[in-house]
């Protein structure tokens, strides 16, 4: 067997694999000899079928299978030995139909090679890492929300702007009948809430579903319709009011503190506000870090310049899926995925240069931490090690979950690297100002 490579340019090469008869003949003969022992052909006893007949019936199929196995194995070994960093998979070059009656064979493959480049984390312009703080206004609003959450319901005669309204959404044609409790601030338009103000038990309000909520997932929950049906649903529904209540604020006292955090954990209003501030700012760290990660990713993709074997990759994308794409479709797929591919190469370069690796134990520990947090949300604060191990084992038996958690671990390690080595400046501001600055919203 002989394997040679012709470098077309820095990003493209053609590998030729020459397979001679001596490379496969012994293996083919052995398989056919085994077939002869077990072949069940009418007119012959098992094991007595002439080899000529076995070769005539099975020879070509065995030859093709063994040559293809040898081809795949030798090509993979060559790429590994030569340490070739290829993109996609080798593509067989279009060539004339193979003459399987010949003794020797030659196969050509196109390769797309990964580019050589350097990554510079220290850009001239600093990237902002936001430190989001919970200000007094936010903390006071959260205290009031807590008072409402733990307060008691008091019946009302008519709907007011802050009422909790129980009732039934209906649309007979669509088979919608769903009892819910709503508050007016959830509606997308203030005009919708005004339809309810002053209404009484037994009143029926007619509403249009299109634009009723800002997010169609809220509409899905309100009407109890399927996910796909909720998106873009444009019908009229009625809401018959069955109960109207206001929520009387709970007193900010030790009873409230104990309900929220357990007996004696919080003992004063100042401690309550400090705890709310601490919890809120922990959540803000995740949002701030994700923003930094996104911004540095964008910076790296835009400012790390290198060429890709685009023609090869478009051709590979045509052939990579279950259904072969047209040339135009292959180009479209490449254009959609180019940015992601560039970042994957940059990420791999950064991980190699900075010795960033992950192992299964890290993935498992991350999974256990995630499981523990989820269990805490349902009041299970002290799961045993065995419980965590068993649940983690079930989660990690799913390869998609392993991939997802592995990506989280990599992202965290890269984030730590960016904080240490990238040109990052810290900006402190309230959550309200953060949202306005980053998203242009209030």
Query: Quick one: pLDDT at residue 97?
Result: 81
Within-domain flag for 131: no
Residue 70 and residue 212 in one domain: no
Within-domain flag for 130: no
Residue 301 and residue 417 in one domain: yes
CATH number of the domain bearing residue 235 = 3.10.50.30
**For residue 173, pLDDT beyond 80:** yes
Q: Which of 86, 113, 140 is the last residue of a domain?
A: 113
Which residues have CB under 8 Å from 312's CB, separation 6+? 11, 12, 87, 88, 91, 110, 111, 112
Within-domain flag for 118: no
Q: Which of 217, 248, 279 is the last residue of a domain?
A: 248
Listed range (35-39, 219-223, 427-431) with the worst mean pLDDT: 35-39
Within-domain flag for 276: yes
**For residue 95, pLDDT beyond 90:** no
Q: 172 lies in which domain range? A: 152-248
Structure tokens at 87: 């993109």
Query: Quick one: pLDDT at residue 441?
Result: 55
Confidence of residue 216 (pLDDT cuts 50, 70, 90): confident
CATH number of the domain bearing residue 34 = 3.30.70.1050
Residue 280 and residue 378 in one domain: yes
Query: Quick one: pLDDT at residue 442?
Result: 46
Residue 289 and residue 243 in one domain: no
Residue 244 and residue 280 in one domain: no
Within-domain flag for 335: yes
Model pTM greater than 0.75? no
Residue 310 and residue 402 in one domain: yes
Residue 292 and residue 405 in one domain: yes
Q: What is the pLDDT of residues 398-433, one digit of tens each?
A: 999 999 999 999 999 999 999 999 999 999 999 999
Query: Quick one: pLDDT at residue 246?
Result: 93
Residue 104 and residue 196 in one domain: no
Q: What is the pLDDT of residues 246-293, one digit of tens each?
A: 989 999 999 999 988 889 999 999 999 999 999 999 989 999 999 999
Query: Quick one: pLDDT at residue 180?
Result: 96
CA distance 442 to 436: 5
Mean of pLDDT values over 370-398: 87
Residue 283 and residue 233 in one domain: no
Separation of CA 159 from chain center: 43
Residue 109 and residue 224 in one domain: no
Residue 227 and residue 345 in one domain: no
Mean of pLDDT values over 201-206: 97
**Overall domain count for the chain:** 3
Report whether 199 contacts 243 (CB < 8 A).
Answer: no
Mean pLDDT of the chain: 92
Residue 285 and residue 227 in one domain: no
Within-domain flag for 383: yes
Residue 359 host element (H or E) = none
Which residues have CB under 8 Å from 55's CB, separation 6+? 32
Structure tokens at 153: 């319901």
């Amino acid at each position: 067997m002989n394997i040679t490579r012709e470098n077309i340019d820095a990003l493209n090469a053609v590998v030729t694999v020459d397979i001679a008869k001596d490379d496969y003949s012994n293996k083919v003969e052995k398989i056919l000899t085994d077939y002869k022992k077990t072949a069940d052909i009418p007119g012959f006893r098992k094991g007595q079928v002439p080899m000529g007949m076995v070769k005539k019936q099975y020879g070509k199929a065995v030859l093709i299978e063994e040559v293809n196995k040898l081809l795949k194995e030798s090509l993979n070994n060559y790429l590994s030995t030569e340490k070739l960093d290829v993109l996609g998979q080798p593509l067989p070059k279009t060539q004339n139909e193979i003459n399987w009656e010949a003794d020797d064979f030659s196969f050509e493959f196109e390769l797309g090679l990964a580019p050589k480049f350097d990554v510079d984390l220290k850009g001239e312009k600093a990237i902002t890492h936001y430190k989001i703080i919970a200000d007094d206004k936010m903390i006071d609003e959260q205290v009031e929300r807590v008072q409402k959450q733990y307060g008691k319901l008091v019946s009302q005669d008519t709907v007011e702007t802050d009422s909790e309204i129980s009732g039934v959404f209906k649309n007979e044609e669509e088979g919608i009948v769903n009892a819910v409790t709503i508050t007016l601030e959830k509606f997308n338009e203030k005009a919708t809430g005004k339809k309810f103000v002053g209404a009484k038990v037994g009143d029926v309000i007619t509403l249009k579903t299109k634009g009723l909520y800002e997010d169609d997932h809220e509409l899905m929950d309100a009407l109890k319709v399927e996910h796909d049906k909720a998106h873009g649903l444009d019908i009229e529904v009625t809401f018959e009011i069955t109960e109207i209540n206001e929520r009387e604020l709970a007193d900010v006292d030790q009873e409230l503190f104990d309900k929220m955090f357990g007996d004696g954990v919080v003992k004063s209003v100042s401690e309550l506000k400090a705890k709310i501030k601490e919890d809120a700012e922990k959540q803000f760290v995740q949002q701030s870090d994700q923003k930094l990660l996104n911004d540095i990713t964008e910076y790296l993709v835009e400012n790390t310049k290198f060429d890709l074997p685009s023609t090869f990759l478009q051709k590979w994308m045509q052939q990579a899926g279950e259904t072969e794409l047209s040339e135009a479709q292959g180009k479209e797929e490449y254009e959609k995925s180019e940015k992601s591919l560039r970042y994957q190469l940059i990420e791999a370069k950064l991980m190699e240069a900075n010795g960033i690796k992950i192992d299964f134990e890290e993935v498992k520990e991350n999974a256990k931490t995630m499981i523990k947090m989820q269990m805490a949300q349902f009041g299970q604060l002290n799961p045993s090690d065995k419980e965590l191990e068993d649940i983690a084992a079930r989660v990690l038996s799913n390869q998609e979950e392993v991939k997802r958690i592995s990506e989280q671990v990599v992202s965290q390690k890269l984030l730590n690297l960016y904080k240490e080595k990238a040109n990052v400046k810290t900006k402190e501001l309230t959550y309200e100002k953060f949202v306005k600055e980053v998203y242009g919203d209030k």
